[in-house]
Structure 1
């Protein structure tokens, strides 16, 4: 059910459907997932939003460029990456073959297992972007590959206690990675990618601070370009080049995601939600929402409550 927030503060964006090529997980009720990269390869993607899940990406085959925050890494040998929910990340695939696994698990999943939470907090893998990428030697790669294979099979088999088993495997993977502790230095990031990163960082900061008493502060291409000290046309060209979409599309998609979050996680009126995300009146907000989703805000909210 939607939650009532007495203090007008927005919760973490959670499970809102993806409307753009940038990656956001679909709305589903899950705690942990494990994927084989040979079956579900990592395609090019950009994830500029807050997420409600952690990710471990284990690469045994394939070549790509991984960016976390302002750090870029060229990946061409066995590597494991630990991605915190708050990090802005991107992956550019440079090869046709992939090997390894990746695992996604929710924040609420961690809270269920104190020992897992302790491990994650104790070691820097998820909490220090400079130590989130680890190059692996042959022996460590084999050990982690075997752990992931068992983890993947456990997830497929399911059962009453499979989530308990999976969290134990995550702990073992973290410990084995710390034994390797080979943290490569990031490669130099070009100026264009730096602008891209700063745009999404600013967009996320603006969206994260939205509430009824503090509505969206900036929401146009010109305003974002001014904050970033670049020309609007140049910013548009960079976003189009690297993401296939212009600045306005990214802003609109982010505002839409936040409005969905407000609809399902608060009991605010449509007038309050519209005002918070930058609309002067409720009819304009409703028109914007229906144009981009095909349903009215009230219909979206009711559908969510039915599913809940």
Structure 2
């Protein structure tokens, strides 16, 4: 959807939210543990911390529309107090899709066109103006009543497990000590997927044969080894980036799961 107009020189996928305006084409949004059919123009809100993908209606279907990406901090600079992670528009159990009537489509399309025009211009306060336009999109959605068709897919345990694994994968690689791991426990993932933690644990155990916590810990250990070998971050920085408040807790965790201290891995005393 107008991808050729999106120019991002740096993109941390865990930081950016997306608002899409679909003007043409039928599809299904696979969002958290729900499938949402989109059969007419729609305004769609997606959160990078929540796994989602699109199923097209047919290979020859024509699609068109607009989108914008932005960070939570971008709106906070405009004195917006509520975090987007708490907004119902972006939560796993909220309503991310708003089907539009013709007059709503034309109005929202105009907002996206204005944002593009401002981005291409040299007005000194253009980002303040674009921030206001993004807020208008959010408020317009809040005023609407969602008109979506939800249905539960077959084999719910496999779907939930796949969503969990996709969400886990999105947490890595950790690309900066300033962007620490946001989801650290099974309950964190369950909250994002809008399921009870016991339900998530049962599904993951049944499908993979491992507990949710075991899979999370394995991913953290693997990321630790990569960071120790391929970066010059201190052990304390690595610990913080992986969600450990104290380096001592991190050292104990790593030794418990590998038999070695982080420094032994870094200095090459042992190969694991």
Asked whether the 8 Å contact 1:140–1:177 carries over to 2, the reply is no
- 1:257-286 CA distance string (max 9 Å, x none): 9949x969x743589689567653446468
Asked whether the 8 Å contact 1:82–1:126 carries over to 2, the reply is yes
For structure 2, the 5+ residue unaligned runs are 7-11, 173-180, 186-199, 210-214, 243-249
Hey, what's the Cα distance between the residues in 1 that align with 2:62 and 2:44? Answer: 18
* TM-score relative to the length of structure 2: 0.60
- Identify the residue that residue 243 of structure 1 maps to in structure 2: none
- Identify the residue that residue 124 of structure 1 maps to in structure 2: 88
Hey, what's the Cα distance between the residues in 1 that align with 2:34 and 2:207? Answer: 24
For structure 1, the 5+ residue unaligned runs are 1-36, 43-48, 212-223, 234-246, 288-308
Asked whether the 8 Å contact 1:140–1:180 carries over to 2, the reply is no
> Are 1:255 and 2:231 an aligned pair?
no
- 1:146-204 CA distance string (max 9 Å, x none): 11011112112244211101111112222223343233132222324333113335667
Higher relative contact order (CA 8 A, sep 6+): 1
- Identify the residue that residue 70 of structure 2 maps to in structure 1: 105
> Are 1:91 and 2:54 an aligned pair?
yes
* TM-score relative to the length of structure 1: 0.54
- 1:122-167 CA distance string (max 9 Å, x none): 9632346332211111110111011101111211224421110111
Match runs of 1:229-268 below 5 Å? 229-230=205-206, 232=208, 251=219, 255=223, 259=227, 267-268=234-235
Hey, what's the Cα distance between the residues in 1 that align with 2:238 and 2:83? Answer: 44
- 1:22-43 CA distance string (max 9 Å, x none): xxxxxxxxxxxxxxx134499x
- Identify the residue that residue 60 of structure 1 maps to in structure 2: 23
Q: CA deviation at 1:87?
A: 2.0
Kindly tell me the number of residue pairs found equivalent between the two proteins: 215
Asked whether the 8 Å contact 2:225–2:265 carries over to 1, the reply is no
Hey, what's the Cα distance between the residues in 1 that align with 2:184 and 2:35? Answer: 30
Asked whether the 8 Å contact 2:224–2:238 carries over to 1, the reply is no
Asked whether the 8 Å contact 1:60–1:98 carries over to 2, the reply is yes
Asked whether the 8 Å contact 1:78–1:135 carries over to 2, the reply is yes
